[in-house]
Each structure stands twice: as C-alpha cells, then as structure tokens.
Chains A and B, each alone.
Chain A
Amino acid sequence: MSQPFIATFGFPVLSDISWVRSVHLHDASGSSGKGHLFKVWLKGEISGISYAYPSGRSIMESKSIYPHKVLPYLLLAPSFVIIGYFLFYPTFETFRLSLFRLGPFGIRKLYVKFGNFIDLFTSADYLQSFKISFLFSFSVVVFGLGVSLAIAVLVNRKIRGINFYRAALIWPYALSPAIAGALWVFLFDSSAGYLNYFISVLFDVKPKWLTSGSLALVVVTAAATWKNLGYNIILFLAGLQNIPDDIKEAARIDGASPFQVFWKITFPLLSPMTFFLLVMNLIYSYFGSFGLIHVMTEGGPANSTNILIYDLYRQAFINHNAGLAAAESMILFALVVILTGLQFGTSGRGVHYQ
C-alpha cells in the first residue's frame, strides 16, 4: 500500500509530505508508458482524489507542458501573496517576538534573548500544562484509534445495507469541537446530565464531573475522542479497503483463524495508515481541541484542563503577554516540526508497506 491518501480533511499535514517523498523515490524508477498513464487517469477519474499509483510509479508533472515562461509565476502569485503575508511573515514575527518582553500594549519592549523560554520551562504552571497536554493527547490517541479501528473492521464487510451503516458511523466527521463540547457538558451536568444519571444508577456514585480536576480531564478527553471518531473511521476504512482480499483468502485457506488473519495480515498491512492517524490525532489533540476546552471548562477547574493551546490563548489574549505567548507558539511549532519529522522519517521504513 503506497501512500494512497492525499486528502486528509483540512489537516493535510503529513500524508502530503510522505507522499512527496514517495514521489521522489518513484521518480528514479523511470516514467511510465502511455497505456499505463491512461489507466492511472481512469482510476483517478473514478476515485476522484485518492489512488495508489499501481506498481508504485508516479510523476512530477504532466508529459505535455506549455512553453510559457512568465505565466506560471503569475499563476503562483496569488498563493504566494497570501502565504507570504499571512503565513511566513507572522511565523517569522512570532520567533522575533518570542525574544522580547513586552508591556501590555506593546509600548515597552525589552530584548531578553531566551528569557521567555527559560521562564516557561521553570514555571510550574507551564510544566503542568505540558503534562496535561501529554496525558490528554495520549488518551485521545489510544482510545480514539482503538475504538475507530474496531468500528472500521466491523463495517468493512459485504452485507446488506452496509452503505447505510457506514454513513451512520462516519457522520461525526461533521462535528465541531464546540458542538462536541456542549453535548458532553450536558451529558455530565450534575443535575440534568444523562450519563451522570446512568453512572449514578449503575455504580451508585455521583461525582462532580466538571468541577473536580482529574474528572474534568476525563470528560474533556471523552468528548475529544468522540468528536474525532468520524475522521478516524473514514481513514481506517479506506485503509482496510486497500488491503487485497486474495492475501486474506490465501491465509484463510491455509487454516488461519479470523483472529490470526487480523493480527498477522490486516493489522501489519494497515500500519502505514495507523501511523498516519497516530500523528494526525496527536496534532488534533494539541491544536484542534481549543474550542472544546473553551466551551467545556475554560481550562479549569484549577488549571486541570489547561492544555498548551489553551495556555497560549490565555497568555496572548487574556493576560496580554505577547512575548511569552510567542514563545509558547514557538514551542508548539517545535512540536509540529518533530511530529512532521517523525512521519517523514518513518514513511517507508519500520511500518509495513505492501
């Protein structure tokens, strides 16, 4: 299975990069014949966006190109105006700002070198935020991937009405963090919440879910995991569908139990997708869950759900501490770079590609 998925729902990050890498790898193998190209085209036209290049061949540009010299730059201009002014320039500015200590309204500016970073990593609050983020993202990844893989396997079969079942399981893709947050705040509300009630009946406990620290983190984690189910199921299902039936069939004929087929064949062949989703879910839990926290707990009670992104928002827009906030941004940036590097470095190695 060679990197078949290009579209990744607004969070395109890593598949694209690993795909580019695979393009470079495959370029060396020479370009393909016309008949082959046509097959690829047809397949692409049928499947729209995602296709594994059969036989792992790929191309960087069309074989028939226009001779214009200036036009391509004009075509790229709108993209680069936006990218330059709203992406690269502010990122550079973030780095610069992170080296200064600023007064509340940016009037006084003091160059402090890495002072902001030193402050952050010696602040108990920030380290606590780091720890909470880690716990949060770890749980979101483990539970999210586990549950959605199980569901994807369940709907990856040919029975009557399967398209209905699939649609009825991937719709959470349309959920927003704020909506998921509001629904789960209700479910655990101390007087009207349904889950709160069910749990009190079943286990005879009635804790204050959202006003006691560690429990609030549990509720927030559950909501975040639930919100991302749709995305994970879609991509796991796509991965499962790409595993050829004949391999599993062969194993079955050789007497392998369904359990063995799953763990010895399906799971290893699915590992590129699993790894991709692992990284995507990490990025989601570090960057994409702001709305959820803001709606559910606002980082409380007593900072117990104050994940890094929420702390950044507080420093920047509530405490108006721009220098410190910029330093927090740079730390988050370092995290993205590390995660991207992980994906980049391991694509093609360590995980199984067919």
Chain B
Amino acid sequence: MIRTFVKKYHIFTHITLITVILIVGAPVIFGFIISTQSPIEVFSYPPKLTPGSHFSNYQKAWKQVNMGRMMFNSAYCAIMVGFGKFIISVLAAFAFTHFKFKGKQFWFLLILITLMLPIPVRIVPLFEIVSDLKWVDTYWGLIVPFLASATGTFLFRQHFLTIPSELTDAAKIDGCGPIRFLFQILIPLSKNTICAFAVIEFVYIWNQYLWPLIVVNSDHMKVVQIGIKMLINTEAMNNWGVIMAGVLIALIPPLIVFFVMQKSFMRGFGFMREK
C-alpha cells in the first residue's frame, strides 16, 4: 500500500529534488540568515543557524557604501547597453539577412572574430582609448565599449532567417520599405528572442566587474558589484550581517529579471515545446 503510493507519486524523486535544491541554494539561504542577525549573534559560538530580527543590517549596508546610487548606476548601464546593443545588432542582423552586398562573408567573419576578443585581451590599450576620450569615470566609459556584439547580431540574424520570405514579398508589394519592414514587422515578430536577449544582457552587464573596477574611480560612479567588495573592505572586523545584506540587495535585480522573463527565456531554449 505505502509502497505503491511512494512509487506512484515519485516520492523519492521529490525528496531528492528538494534536497538538491536546498544544497544548491544553501549559500544564499545561509547568507539570508546571517543578514538578519546582530553582530553578537553572528559571532556567537556555536553559530546561530536561525534568522534573527536585526533587519537594520539592510539599512546599514544601503547607507555604508551609497548602495542606492550604485544600484542606479548598474541598472542604468545594463538598460542602456541592452537597448543600444539591441538597436545596433538588429540593424546589422537585418543587413545580413535581407540584403545582398559585396564582401558579406568577409564582414560576417569580422563579427565572428570579435567572439575571440574578450576585454582582458585588449584591456591595456582599451583603457588608454577611453582615457583619451575623457570617458574615465563617466557612463560613456561604462557603456560604449560593450555596445557592439556578435551575440546580439547572431541571435537576431538567426531569428530573422526563420521568418518566411512570403512575408517580405507581401510587404514589398504593399510598398513597405526595408526600414519600416524591420521595425513594424520583423521586430514585433521577435518577442521571445528579445526577451532572451534582454535577460542575457541584463545579467551580463549587471555582473560586470573587471571593466567597472578600472574605468571608475569616484564613489558616485561605482557599480554595485564593486560595492560588495567595498563592504567587505570597510569593515575592520567583518560584520557579516551587513555584508550579506548588501550581497542579497545586489542579487535581487538580476533574479527578478530572470524570473519575470523566465517563461520566454526558457521557451527560447526549447523547454516548453511539445515533442
């Protein structure tokens, strides 16, 4: 009786899955518990494994490194890069899919090669270029070097290729020019691709570390990832409650973007389709 029940409802699978979820999530769960404890609780021995009620840690983290400003900087950069990259790569993708022109293969290859040029490969001269432009400590310096991307171009190119040529033909007959066709027909047909692109780019830019570290000096231009490092540094004796509070604050925006767009995003990876 019990055995058939266990088998029928996959009880073991459920138990295993929940255990795995707890293990994978443990660092964040522990971080949350600590973020609610007072310094005395944090350093008690043996450690206290249950949440406290010291929520002022969040306030403290927020004030200590000017987190509001940093969150704004990160979000602003992520949104601007996402938007700029979107426009630039959609235009390029459209050129590759709906036009014939000289040297197409060559230009495509050039975009392809950029995949092999992550920032560390060109970081020393890149910093000089950005300094010469007087872009150190500005949003320009944080945003513009990220604007062109092979990812976006390939993503949209790939998607545009799947749109039937009949649609283009019909648009042409109706006197719809290429730019209008792109913005009024192609882009509205690319919702899932745009969502996947948005998640990828937001998380990617929000989590940038090395470039913001070197291109920004002043506190009011710093991004939130650097703020985490500052939290750890500013405390003589690490007050883990405050640090963990800061970490969780910084983790929330990308998590929200991820979960809000999760359905389209997952669809983008072929999870939801019928077989």
Interface set of A (CB-CB < 8 Å, partner B): 4-10, 12-14, 16-17, 19-20, 34, 37-38, 40-41, 43-51, 59-66, 68-69, 71-73, 75-76, 78-80, 82-83, 85-91, 93-94, 97, 151, 154-155, 157, 159-161, 165-169, 171-187, 189, 191-194, 197, 201, 226, 229, 234-235, 237-238, 241-242, 244-245, 283, 287, 290-291, 294-295, 309, 312-313, 316-317, 322, 325-326, 329-330, 332-333, 336-337, 340
Contacts and interface: CB of A to CB of B under 8 A. Distances in A.
B228 A333 contact: no
A12 B20 contact: no
Given A72-B99, A178-B228, A192-B34, A16 B115 contact: yes
B135 to A, nearest CB: 11
Contact of B192 (A48, A64, A93, A287): A48
Contact of B232 (A79, A157, A182): A182
Contact of A336 (B42, B45, B116, B210): B116
Contact of B126 (A12, A86, A179, A242): A86
A62 B98 contact: yes
Given A68-B99, A179-B250, 7 more contacts: A5-B269, A10-B151, A86-B126, A87-B117, A91-B117, A176-B206, A329-B122
B129 A177 contact: no
Contact of A76 (B92, B128, B160, B258): B92
A220 to B, nearest CB: 14
Nearest to B109: A20
The winner among B124, B172, B197, B214 for most chain A CB atoms within 10 A is B124
B270 interface: yes
B201 interface: yes
B16 interface: yes
Contact of B122 (A94, A177, A185): A94
Contact of B162 (A8, A41, A63): A41
Contact of A49 (B92, B108, B193, B275): B193
Interface residues of B, number: 122
Contact of A9 (B120, B204, B226, B267): B204
Contacts of A7: 151, 155, 196-197, 200, 268-269
A232 to B, nearest CB: 12
Contact of A192 (B111, B147, B240): B240
Nearest to B21: A168
Contacts, number: 363
B43 A291 contact: no
B115 A340 contact: yes
Nearest to B231: A182
| List of 10 A-B pairs having minimum Cβ-Cβ separation, nearest first | A48-B192, A291-B209, A44-B162, A176-B207, A10-B204, A93-B125, A82-B148, A48-B268, A64-B165, A90-B122
B154 interface: yes
B116 A90 contact: no
A214 to B, nearest CB: 22
A337 B168 CA distance: 39
Nearest to B44: A192
Interface in B250-274: 250-251, 254-255, 257-259, 262, 264, 266-271, 273
A329 B123 contact: yes
B112 interface: yes
A48 B170 CA distance: 23
B262 A183 contact: no
B123 A316 contact: yes
Contacts of B191: 48
B25 interface: yes
A79 B91 contact: yes
Interface of B: 9-10, 13-14, 16-17, 20-21, 24-25, 27-28, 30-31, 34, 42-43, 45-47, 49, 87-89, 91-92, 94-101, 107-108, 110-112, 114-118, 120-129, 144-145, 147-151, 153-155, 158-166, 168-169, 172, 178, 189, 191-193, 195-197, 200-201, 203-204, 206-207, 209-210, 213-214, 225-226, 228-229, 231-232, 238, 240, 243-244, 247, 250-251, 254-255, 257-259, 262, 264, 266-271, 273, 275
Nearest to A177: B209
A247 to B, nearest CB: 12
Contacts of B117: 87-88, 91, 333, 336
Contacts of A333: 116-117, 121
Contacts of A10: 151, 200-201, 203-204
Please classify the interface of chain B as helix (H, G, I), strand (E, B), loop, or mixed, using the class held by over half of its residues.
Answer: helix
Contacts of A86: 126, 129, 144-145, 147-148
26 contacts: A6-B158, A7-B268, A9-B200, A9-B204, A10-B151, A10-B204, A13-B116, A41-B164, A45-B192, A46-B273, A50-B268, A61-B100, A62-B98, A64-B172, A68-B99, A73-B95, A82-B145, A85-B129, A91-B121, A93-B128, A180-B27, A186-B31, A201-B46, A242-B270, A309-B210, A325-B124
Nearest to B226: A178
Contacts of A65: 98-100, 168
A45 B34 contact: no
Please classify the interface of chain A as helix (H, G, I), strand (E, B), loop, or mixed, using the class held by over half of its residues.
Answer: helix
A171 B203 contact: no
Contact of B107 (A59, A76, A184, A326): A76
A44 B159 contact: yes
Contacts of B101: 69, 72-73
A240 to B, nearest CB: 10
Contact of A48 (B14, B17, B193): B193
A177 B207 contact: yes
Contacts of A193: 47
B88 A78 contact: yes
A90 to B, nearest CB: 4
